[in-house]
Structure 1
Amino acid sequence: MMGWRDWFGLETRGSVENPAIPVSSENFLAFFGVQSGNLPNVTIDSALAVPAVSAAVTFLSSSLANLPLHVYRANNEGSERAGGPLQRILNEAPNSEWTSFGLRKYLWTQVFTGGRGMAWVERAGNQVVGIWPINPSNVTVKLENGKRIYTLDDKKTYAAADIIDIPFLLKRDQLSSYSPIVMGAKAIQLALAMNDYGSNFFAGGGVPPLSLSGPLPQGAEAMKRAMGDINRAIEAAKASDKPIFPMPPGHELKQVGFDPAKGQMVEARLFQIQEIARIYNIPPVFLQDLSRGTFANVEQQDLHLIKHLIAQWAKAFEDELNLKLFGAARNKRYVEHSMDGLMRGDFASRMNGHAQAIQNALRTPNEARALENLPPKENGDNLYVQGATVPLGSNVDDAAGSEGDVDDTGN
């Protein structure tokens, strides 16, 4: 059965997940004479030339890569940090060539551009000895006997248990994924077009496209000469910083199209920042858009970022690591990010938070000092609570007196 593309004779392109293939190549409107094909093609590289896209990708990938990542071991009293080679691999150096920050930033960059980040878990027997990044565009994912198989460069095949795989959004087949660049191609295409128009407009000295009206010379060559004369006159006026240039008698120049101000270019470019922020679900303030920012809503956007974006992606990475490093059973070990770094706040807020946690027996003084990168102190591992807290309904004077009767010396 013929599809609508066959009826119109339109070309079918290959996979849009390949960064080298434009994701805006469809030109349906061209059949009806609308030349939307003149708009710039959107690839991963061209999309990153849009400042808002570049800011979103670098901000998210750097923020997630900067989170401390620790290994914990569960015990009867709760959980405790575990050291050893795996802690070094996850939080310091995953292999002999990459730092932990560098590998994780590369992985998240692939997630927020091509739509998928991958890494290979190197093992010696059952022990993890390294984690290596993989270029997702060189990987084919398929099912064999109901199990997911990853093939790199059509040569090496890996089981799913050896591949850390973070998709931006899985497709219905559960094998391929959507790319945020592809999903937001139209918005990015418009941002590129406005960039090009603005740069061309100001590169031309702020002169919009013009049409020459009046008695026109006959013949193609004569027309070219007349147009050349007018162009040279305009260029000479711009070079001399004078807004006056000669015109042939009976001729007039008329503006064609709109200049950026009349086309509301500034407003449109601000709207494109908000559109790109929606693609990544990131508050616009983190793309340096403070056009509607106030002290109150910027603070709320900061909370939105951590609760509804960073925490979700951190959870996705933690679950993938726990499954691939420890298996479904986990053996009481697990990996978890520390979100304290993102929620430190200003100095006064941090100190107030530490004081309340210590006074209410939520943290020991040494635990609070560790969050500020300060060394532990003697007797700093004890829990403390405010002495004025008494049971409801008790006599405050009696409670205070009983607290004071510590020993016979009155101490």
Structure 2
Amino acid sequence: MSPDDYVRQNLARREMRSLEDPTYRLSENPEALLAMLGVLDSRGALPPVSIDAALGVPGVMCAVGFLSRALASLPLHAFRGGEGGEKQDGQLAMLLNEAPNEETSSFEWRRHKWQQVFTGGRGMSYIERVGTKPVAIWPMDPKEASIRRRDGRKYFVYEGREYRAADVIDVCFMPKSDLVGHYSPIFLGRKAIALAIAMNDFAGSFFASGGVPPLSLEGPLPQGAEAFKRAQADIKRAIDMAKKAGAPFFGMPPGHALKPIGIEPAKGQMTEARLFQIQEVARIWGLPPVFVQDLSKGTFSNTEQQDLQLVKHTLGQWAKAFEDELNLKLFGQRRRSRKVKHNLDGMQRGAFKDRIEGIARAIMTGQMTPDEGRALEDRPPDPSGAGAKLYIQGATVPLGTAPLGHNGGPPLNDNEESGDDADTDKTQD
């Protein structure tokens, strides 16, 4: 089967698939829709999860906000040439690193894209061109867009217009098998998020009642439904009056007692369970726990290692996905003379002393010019021009050589004897 046949079979199964928020689609999450319509029996069921409801969980809000801001703040440079190519500072660099269009800054554009990726599961922007030259990049709302295949080619439909896939910058959290649909992290982790919402709601209702759990009345009960209601109302009124007055006790009918119903929060390990849900939320987005403000198991050393893990195993991978998409859509499949790349050094700056020592070592070992080191600290180049050269410490020489001889001759090999030494040896013999 050729790739075209595979595409046509997928096209026959589904001509169009909406990119709307999957948490509200009947085919993706029927229990949420049924609960919203009041059809689903809510007894014993976790609350339905939407993007807005999920962002109400502090851990989710922290994870999405941190990742989107961190990726949007990375410097994004355009280069000409292969590895080690020259950094460009033209219109394309301005679109990527300053303002993709006349209405949006680069930070806002990229933060919006990553927020869509880490909530609904997909972030998109279309490229406005004059001929083949990109002149603007405009963000798209994934909930208002749809995607279709026609004759084996992918097209995006947005606000009544159709865009080729080559003109749409498209990054998704996790693609489906047909490479058209996608998975949302909030939809995939909806059970863990719903549990966090349920525990938050329980804690709110518990403390809103003054910390008084549901109670049962034990003792001789009055006969008849109306008599029982009156007794219940009297006891409730006594409790409310005691709470208002700040009294530590209230009166009860003789022979009656109130006992709590259900599990107390402490016995149900509510604090530990809520802390565990923070860690579950961090796993959904692949974040080390310290970046969702969970320092329960943090130490001086392992929090520093989590900082390295963040760049290597989370931010670096998403930056690579965005770079590849930009390179493909901005320059085409076969244009290898230009590329776009993030500068991850901004996430690894560290303390001032460590940063300066690292730059000094790179300069002294010939890996970086002084001007390049000054540029990392946003300082101007050396006006004398000497900072544009590579330097190395004078004591660093190739293995097997020695410094210049006394008479200014060529370096001596430490495995060979000088003429003077040889004559001395002969005289001694």
Report if TM-score (shorter chain) is over 0.5.
Answer: yes
Partners of 1:357 and 1:230 lie apart in 2 by 77
SS in 1 for 2:394: coil
The range that moved more, 299-308 or 220-229, is 220-229
Residues 1:221 and 1:398: Cα distance change in structure 2 (over 3 Å): farther
Instruction: Look up the equivalent residue of 1:279 and give its one-letter code.
Output: I
2:190 aligned to which of 167, 172, 185:
185
Partners of 1:258 and 1:123 lie apart in 2 by 63
SS in 2 for 1:330: coil
Partners of 1:60 and 1:359 lie apart in 2 by 35
1:98 aligns with 2:104: yes
Whether the aligned pair in 2 keeps the contact of 1:25 and 1:41 (CA below 8 Å) is no
Partners of 1:306 and 1:399 lie apart in 2 by 52
Count, aligned residues = 387
1:73 aligns with 2:80: yes
SS in 2 for 1:291: coil
Give a deviation string over 1:196-244, Cα, whole Å, max 9, x none.
Answer: 1111111111111111122223343333322222211111122222221
Give a deviation string over 1:374-408, Cα, whole Å, max 9, x none.
Answer: 1111211111001111222334685997699xxxx
SS in 2 for 1:208: coil
Partners of 1:357 and 1:82 lie apart in 2 by 23
Whether the aligned pair in 2 keeps the contact of 1:15 and 1:21 (CA below 8 Å) is no
Q: Partner of 1:62 in structure 2?
A: 69
SS in 2 for 1:64: helix
Whether the aligned pair in 2 keeps the contact of 1:24 and 1:41 (CA below 8 Å) is no
1:286 aligns with 2:291: yes
Q: Partner of 2:308 in structure 1?
A: 303
Give a deviation string over 1:18-54, Cα, whole Å, max 9, x none.
Answer: 45569765399xx9x99233x3211000000000000
SS in 1 for 2:217: strand
Partners of 2:188 and 2:19 lie apart in 1 by 14
Residues 1:86 and 1:262: Cα distance change in structure 2 (over 3 Å): same
Whether the aligned pair in 2 keeps the contact of 1:390 and 1:399 (CA below 8 Å) is no
The range that moved more, 315-324 or 81-90, is 81-90
SS in 2 for 1:392: coil
1:125 aligns with 2:131: yes
1:240 aligns with 2:248: no
2:115 aligned to which of 109, 112, 119:
109
Instruction: Look up the equivalent residue of 1:322 and give its one-letter code.
Output: N
Instruction: Look up the equivalent residue of 1:283 and give its one-letter code.
Output: P
Instruction: Look up the equivalent residue of 2:44 and give its one-letter code.
Output: S
2:230 aligned to which of 221, 225, 229:
225
Instruction: Look up the equivalent residue of 1:354 and give its one-letter code.
Output: I
SS in 1 for 2:128: strand
Residue 172 of structure 1, CA deviation:
1.2
Residue 70 of structure 1, CA deviation:
1.0
Residue 370 of structure 1, CA deviation:
0.4
Give a deviation string over 1:153-207, Cα, whole Å, max 9, x none.
Answer: 4x22111011110000001121010000001000000100111111111111111
Partners of 2:311 and 2:410 lie apart in 1 by 43
Give a deviation string over 1:298-338, Cα, whole Å, max 9, x none.
Answer: 11100100001101000100110111111012251111111
Q: Partner of 1:36 in structure 2?
A: 44
Larger radius of gyration: 2
Instruction: Look up the equivalent residue of 2:260 and give its one-letter code.
Output: Q
Partners of 1:286 and 1:17 lie apart in 2 by 26
1:48 aligned to which of 55, 66, 74:
55
Residues 1:403 and 1:113: Cα distance change in structure 2 (over 3 Å): farther
Q: Partner of 2:394 in structure 1?
A: 387
1:205 aligns with 2:210: yes
Whether the aligned pair in 2 keeps the contact of 1:365 and 1:381 (CA below 8 Å) is yes
Residues 1:344 and 1:399: Cα distance change in structure 2 (over 3 Å): farther
The range that moved more, 16-25 or 331-340, is 16-25
| Identity fraction in percent | 54
SS in 1 for 2:318: helix
SS in 2 for 1:26: helix
Partners of 2:81 and 2:351 lie apart in 1 by 33
SS in 2 for 1:336: strand
Residues 1:15 and 1:83: Cα distance change in structure 2 (over 3 Å): closer
Give a deviation string over 1:235-265, Cα, whole Å, max 9, x none.
Answer: 1122222221111122211110122211111
Partners of 2:199 and 2:408 lie apart in 1 by 76
Partners of 2:302 and 2:312 lie apart in 1 by 15
Partners of 1:161 and 1:399 lie apart in 2 by 68
SS in 1 for 2:155: strand
TM-score normalised by the chain length of structure 2: 0.85
Partners of 1:399 and 1:291 lie apart in 2 by 65
RMSD: 2.6
Instruction: Look up the equivalent residue of 2:133 and give its one-letter code.
Output: Q
Q: Partner of 1:6 in structure 2?
A: none
TM-score normalised by the chain length of structure 1: 0.88
Residues 1:122 and 1:16: Cα distance change in structure 2 (over 3 Å): closer
Whether the aligned pair in 1 keeps the contact of 2:20 and 2:144 (CA below 8 Å) is no
SS in 2 for 1:133: strand
Whether the aligned pair in 1 keeps the contact of 2:127 and 2:169 (CA below 8 Å) is yes
The range that moved more, 42-51 or 81-90, is 81-90
Residues 1:399 and 1:254: Cα distance change in structure 2 (over 3 Å): farther
